[in-house]
């Protein structure tokens, strides 16, 4: 027998469980201590500490679910050809989503698409669809060019066994100087890049670039009334695999450009809406049973990736109820210590292994191979779409360019198509959360589907990570809102989730309720410091046994976190930055995300999807490589952050003075440790504020000093008359 895949539990599981039991006791001890002394502190201090420790305990408890049964999988694509022939492989439709030609440069989208067009897969079974939610002629132009370049690129990759089939990645690793063939193709690529950049910059496709009537007809759709929020459907078949050949006479895979219809009167449902339109358009044209969804920045780094997926799809054991195979998101160009913790190491290297041991990985939006059937109802109850052509088993029997197919494809991409249908509620990608990926995966798991986390040694895909603090926390803010939308929805993981999928529901709940993390971070960043400024002790003295409990809980949680991080390949530097980002996110994106969610659910503002910028600015890249914090643009989200940084600095030094001269040395130790720890964490913020003029606009100084003075005057009100031990 040739195994296609294996599963192995992680060795540290038993230890983790024991530690969880011990730590649970410690948590109860701490809560008991809080209740015991509730009257000896001011109500504000008592209640805020009790609340934040309860939140921490809750987050900790839901986090333990990931540690209950983590597993690691391995697959053996080399055995695949021993059990099935390439002619038996299922067809594969790939969707590449893009939404904004200025934040997502079309040439990068082209690189992503080319990287998957070059998958090592039978070309007659592979179709790549580009979903352009930006409705941009420049993106279509880039793809017209890409189709021409693909004729040279595919044979080149095949001949040279290229693994980085993203041309840009390939040329940046392999210098053309070595051989004329590479030189020639690199030149071709560079010329294409120049033409695309020209069209993006001028905003129009000039006549000299149009080489056929068919192209002219396509670009003519961009009339004066055409805007990204209001335009008809544009579908353009750029490569037809039954007709178009590469330079060596091999057929090429399909390449199809789709920009679904948009109208101001129709909700777009953002990426989920785009993906559902793609599901329908692809159903009318190819209807492959396997669908890969990719963000425009996620390009392939290994042409054999689909074969890994087949190891699961063709194995009767793993195939049953399989809805999707998820690959980790990996990122190119991270700085050596990953200053913004943009690698999401804890999620992709630790926690997803835990999810996988329960019902499977969560859907993370990109690098995901779906079984099309899973998007049409539960395993036992198929929900039929409105027209038979969209049924997951429907066999397309006409060429993709036949008029009837094209007209049906346009019809299903129209913006009114979904009215009074199950799309987005029971079928396809689900609406109602800005984290449509997480929410859709959750709903599939609730329906009884399973999923698989596939983490090969050679990263299957590489994407872009934000390189400024603003981009990063803006992205997190969107996730915070999306999570809360899910946590308080009808299908909340805490209610429906725990009832239908048990522990897995709690695990989903952990990331949905994420933003409440802002409560403990804010409390611990302000309350002990405020008390310190007054020289008031709010924690146990060093000589009291409760002091040891605090020390144990801090070191226990941090220590376990560190060990897991390092065991899964992290370094100390990355871990340090990762824990720092958690502190940064509390008072910034999590706080603002929660407020925005509140305003939006009250109907005061509307939910929107802020696309993450994938443009590299030279100065920003330089700072990023030097691992300097770069605030990007001014944002109110930085105000509480800078405020906390300043308060901790002051309170630490004032506290030091009080300790040197004062009476209650022992009682202030914990507060000093907290303020000191936060201060060390805030170093890059001080650096950006004081030492460097480039990173932090003077705007902060102004807003900070105002807020600080407000805050300090407010702190006076906290003091009880005639009571010097309380604040």
Q: Does 655 bind ligand UPG (CB under 6 A)?
A: no
Nearest residue (CB) to ligand UPG, 42 versus 366:
366
CB of 479 to ligand UPG, least distance (A): 6
Output phi, psi for 8, to 5 deg: -140, 130
CB of 614 to ligand UPG, least distance (A): 7
Question: Residue with CB nearest ligand UPG?
Answer: 365
Give strand pairing partners of 257: 130, 236
CB of 611 to ligand UPG, least distance (A): 4
Tell me which residues in 214-243 interact with ligand UPG (CB under 6 A).
none
Q: Which one from 120, 132, 133, 246 is the annotated catalytic residue? A: 133
Q: Is the dihedral of CA 686, 692, 694, 699 positive or negative?
A: positive
Q: Distance (Å, rounded) from C-alpha 487 to C-alpha 511?
A: 9
Q: Does 270 bind ligand UPG (CB under 6 A)?
A: yes
End-to-end CA distance of the chain: 72
Structure tokens at 134: 């930006």
CB of 709 to ligand UPG, least distance (A): 36
* 196-220 exposure pattern, b = at least 16 Cβ within 10 A, e = fewer: beebbeeeebeeebbeeeebeebbe
Q: Does 435 bind ligand UPG (CB under 6 A)?
A: yes
* 542-564 exposure pattern, b = at least 16 Cβ within 10 A, e = fewer: eeeebbebbebbeeeeeebbbeb
CB of 136 to ligand UPG, least distance (A): 11
Q: Is the dihedral of CA 581, 586, 587, 593 positive or negative?
A: positive
The answer to whether residues 393 and 399 touch, using CB atoms and an 8 Å cutoff, is no
Nearest residue (CB) to ligand UPG, 297 versus 630:
297
DSSP 89: S
Q: Which stretch binds ligand UPG (CB under 6 A): 42-50, 433-441, 634-642, 717-725?
A: 433-441
The answer to whether residues 224 and 206 touch, using CB atoms and an 8 Å cutoff, is no
Helix (H) or strand (E) holding 82: helix 80-83
| 48, 284, 301, 366: residue in contact with ligand UPG (rule CB under 6 A) | 366
| 475, 485, 594, 635: residue in contact with ligand UPG (rule CB under 6 A) | 475
Residue 578 annotated as catalytic: no
Q: Which stretch binds ligand UPG (CB under 6 A): 177-185, 330-338, 472-480, 483-491?
A: 472-480
Q: Distance (Å, rounded) from C-alpha 517 to C-alpha 522?
A: 9
Residue closest to 499 by CA, chosen among 483, 357, 479, 508: 508
Helix, strand or coil, per DSSP, at residue 639: helix
Q: Which one from 244, 246, 295, 437 is the annotated catalytic residue? A: 437
| 313, 434, 487, 685: residue in contact with ligand UPG (rule CB under 6 A) | 434
Nearest residue (CB) to ligand UPG, 129 versus 524:
129
| 4, 99, 283, 670: residue in contact with ligand UPG (rule CB under 6 A) | 99
Tokens 């302000």, residue located: 526
Reported in sequence order, the residue ranges of 415-460 that DSSP labels E, i.e. its strands, are 450-453
Nearest residue (CB) to ligand UPG, 110 versus 296:
296
Nearest residue (CB) to ligand UPG, 276 versus 475:
475
| 73, 125, 260, 271: residue in contact with ligand UPG (rule CB under 6 A) | 271
Nearest residue (CB) to ligand UPG, 97 versus 339:
97
Structure tokens at 611: 């696309």
Nearest residue (CB) to ligand UPG, 112 versus 529:
112
Q: Distance (Å, rounded) from C-alpha 444 to C-alpha 446?
A: 5
Structure tokens at 152: 């040279």
CB of 464 to ligand UPG, least distance (A): 8
Q: Which stretch binds ligand UPG (CB under 6 A): 1-9, 28-36, 96-104, 344-352?
A: 96-104
Binding characters for ligand UPG, 273-292, by CB under 6 A (x = yes): -x------------------
Output phi, psi for 480, to 5 deg: -60, -45
Q: Does 365 bind ligand UPG (CB under 6 A)?
A: yes
Q: Does 517 bind ligand UPG (CB under 6 A)?
A: no
The answer to whether residues 533 and 671 touch, using CB atoms and an 8 Å cutoff, is no
Q: Which stretch binds ligand UPG (CB under 6 A): 25-33, 73-81, 268-276, 645-653?
A: 268-276
Q: Distance (Å, rounded) from C-alpha 330 to C-alpha 333?
A: 10
| 92, 237, 278, 296: residue in contact with ligand UPG (rule CB under 6 A) | 296
Q: Which stretch binds ligand UPG (CB under 6 A): 163-171, 400-408, 476-484, 576-584?
A: 476-484
**Most distant pair of Cα atoms in the chain: their distance:** 92
CB of 58 to ligand UPG, least distance (A): 24
Q: Which stretch binds ligand UPG (CB under 6 A): 92-100, 241-249, 453-461, 576-584?
A: 92-100
Tokens 């990926």, residue located: 437
Q: Distance (Å, rounded) from C-alpha 727 to C-alpha 475?
A: 37
Nearest residue (CB) to ligand UPG, 120 versus 343:
343
* 7-32 exposure pattern, b = at least 16 Cβ within 10 A, e = fewer: eeebeebeebeebbeebeebbeebee
Q: Distance (Å, rounded) from C-alpha 427 to C-alpha 444?
A: 10
Binding characters for ligand UPG, 129-148, by CB under 6 A (x = yes): --x-x---------------
Nearest residue (CB) to ligand UPG, 296 versus 643:
296
Residue 133 annotated as catalytic: yes
What percent helix, strand, coil does the chain show, rounded to 5? Answer: 55, 10, 35
Q: Distance (Å, rounded) from C-alpha 11 to C-alpha 78?
A: 27
Q: Does 479 bind ligand UPG (CB under 6 A)?
A: yes
Q: Does 470 bind ligand UPG (CB under 6 A)?
A: no
CB of 363 to ligand UPG, least distance (A): 9
| 27, 80, 97, 374: residue in contact with ligand UPG (rule CB under 6 A) | 97
Nearest residue (CB) to ligand UPG, 242 versus 608:
608
The answer to whether residues 98 and 366 touch, using CB atoms and an 8 Å cutoff, is no
Tell me which residues in 597-616 interact with ligand UPG (CB under 6 A).
609, 611-612
Compute, in degrees rounded to 10, the torsion defined by CA atoms 389, 393, 395, 400: 60
| 5, 52, 64, 98: residue in contact with ligand UPG (rule CB under 6 A) | 98
Helix, strand or coil, per DSSP, at residue 256: strand
CB of 140 to ligand UPG, least distance (A): 15
- What is the size of the binding site for ligand UPG (CB under 6 A)? 25
Task: Report the 10 Å Cβ neighbour count for 259.
Answer: 28
Helix axes 137-160, 106-117, angle to 10 degrees: 40
Q: Which residues are catalytic?
A: 133, 437
Binding site for ligand UPG (CB under 6 A): 97-99, 104, 131, 133, 268, 270-271, 274, 295-296, 365-366, 434-437, 475, 478-479, 482, 609, 611-612
């Amino acid at each position: 027998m040739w195994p296609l895949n294996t599963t192995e539990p992680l060795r540290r599981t038993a230890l983790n469980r024991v530690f969880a039991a011990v730590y649970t006791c410690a948590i109860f001890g701490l809560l008991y201590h809080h209740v015991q002394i509730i009257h000896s502190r001011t109500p504000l201090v008592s209640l805020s500490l009790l609340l934040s420790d309860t939140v921490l305990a809750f987050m900790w408890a839901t986090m333990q679910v990931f540690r209950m049964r983590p597993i690691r999988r391995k697959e053996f694509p080399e055995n695949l050809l021993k059990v099935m022939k390439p002619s038996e492989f299922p067809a594969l439709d790939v969707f590449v989503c893009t939404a904004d030609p200025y934040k997502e440069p079309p040439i990068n989208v082209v690189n992503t698409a080319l990287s998957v067009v070059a998958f090592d897969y039978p070309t007659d079974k592979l179709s790549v669809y580009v979903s352009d939610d930006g409705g941009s002629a420049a993106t279509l132009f880039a793809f017209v060019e890409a189709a021409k370049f693909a004729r040279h690129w595919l044979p080149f990759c095949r001949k040279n066994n290229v693994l980085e089939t993203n041309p840009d990645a390939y040329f940046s690793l392999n210098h053309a100087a070595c051989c004329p063939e590479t030189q020639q193709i690199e030149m071709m690529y560079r010329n294409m890049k120049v033409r695309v950049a020209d069209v993006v910059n001028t905003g129009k496709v000039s006549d000299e670039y149009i080489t056929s009537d068919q192209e002219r007809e396509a670009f003519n759709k961009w009339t004066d009334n055409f805007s990204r929020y209001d335009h008809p459907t544009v579908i353009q078949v750029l490569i037809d695999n039954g007709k178009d050949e590469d330079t060596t006479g091999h057929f090429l895979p399909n390449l199809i450009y789709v920009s679904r219809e948009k109208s101001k009167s129709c909700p777009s449902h953002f990426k989920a809406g785009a993906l559902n339109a793609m599901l329908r358009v692809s159903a009318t044209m190819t209807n492959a049973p396997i669908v890969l969804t990719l963000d425009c920045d996620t390009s392939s780094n290994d042409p054999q990736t689909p074969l890994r997926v087949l190891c699961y799809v063709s194995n009767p054991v793993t195939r049953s109820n399989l809805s999707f195979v998820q690959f980790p998101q990996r990122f190119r160009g991270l700085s050596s210590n990953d200053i913004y913790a943009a690698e999401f190491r804890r999620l992709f290297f630790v926690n997803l292994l835990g999810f996988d041991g329960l019902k499977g990985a969560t859907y993370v939006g990109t690098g995901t191979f779906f079984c099309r059937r899973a998007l049409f109802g539960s395993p036992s109850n198929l929900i039929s779409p409105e027209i038979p052509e969209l049924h997951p088993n429907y066999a397309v029997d006409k060429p993709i360019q036949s008029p009837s197919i094209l007209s049906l494809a346009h019809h299903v991409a129209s913006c009114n198509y979904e009215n009074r249908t199950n799309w987005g509620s029971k079928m396809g990608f689900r609406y109602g959360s800005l984290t449509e990926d997480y929410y859709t995966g959750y709903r599939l798991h609730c329906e009884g589907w399973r999923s698989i986390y596939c983490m090969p040694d050679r990263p299957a895909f590489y994407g872009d990570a934000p390189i400024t603090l603003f981009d990063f926390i803006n992205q997190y803010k969107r996730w915070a809102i999306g999570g809360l939308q899910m946590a308080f929805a009808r299908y909340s993981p805490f209610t429906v989730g725990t009832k239908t999928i048990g522990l897995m529901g709690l695990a989903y709940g952990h990331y949905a309720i994420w933003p409440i993390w802002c409560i403990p971070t804010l409390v611990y960043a302000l309350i002990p410091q405020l008390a310190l400024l007054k020289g008031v002790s709010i924690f146990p003295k060093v000589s009291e046994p409760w002091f040891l409990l605090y020390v144990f809980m801090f070191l226990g949680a941090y220590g376990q976190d560190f060990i897991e991080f390092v065991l899964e390949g992290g370094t100390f530097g990355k871990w340090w930055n990762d824990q720092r980002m958690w502190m940064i996110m509390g008072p910034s994106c999590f706080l603002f995300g929660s407020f925005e969610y509140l305003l939006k659910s009250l109907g005061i503002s509307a939910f929107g999807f802020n696309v993450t910028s994938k443009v590299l600015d030279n100065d920003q890249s330089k700072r990023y490589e030097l691992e300097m914090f770069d605030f990007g643009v001014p944002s109110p989200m930085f105000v509480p952050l800078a405020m906390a940084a300043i308060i901790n600095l002051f309170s630490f030094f004032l506290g030091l003075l009080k300790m040197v001269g004062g009476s209650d040395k022992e009682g202030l130790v914990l507060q000093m440790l907290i303020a000191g720890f936060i201060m060390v964490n805030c170093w890059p913020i001080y650096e950006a504020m004081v030492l460097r003029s480039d990173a932090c606009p003077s705007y902060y100084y102004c807003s900070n000093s105002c807020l600080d003075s407000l805050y300090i005057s407010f702190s006076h009100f906290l003091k009880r008359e005639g009571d010097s031990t309380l604040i």
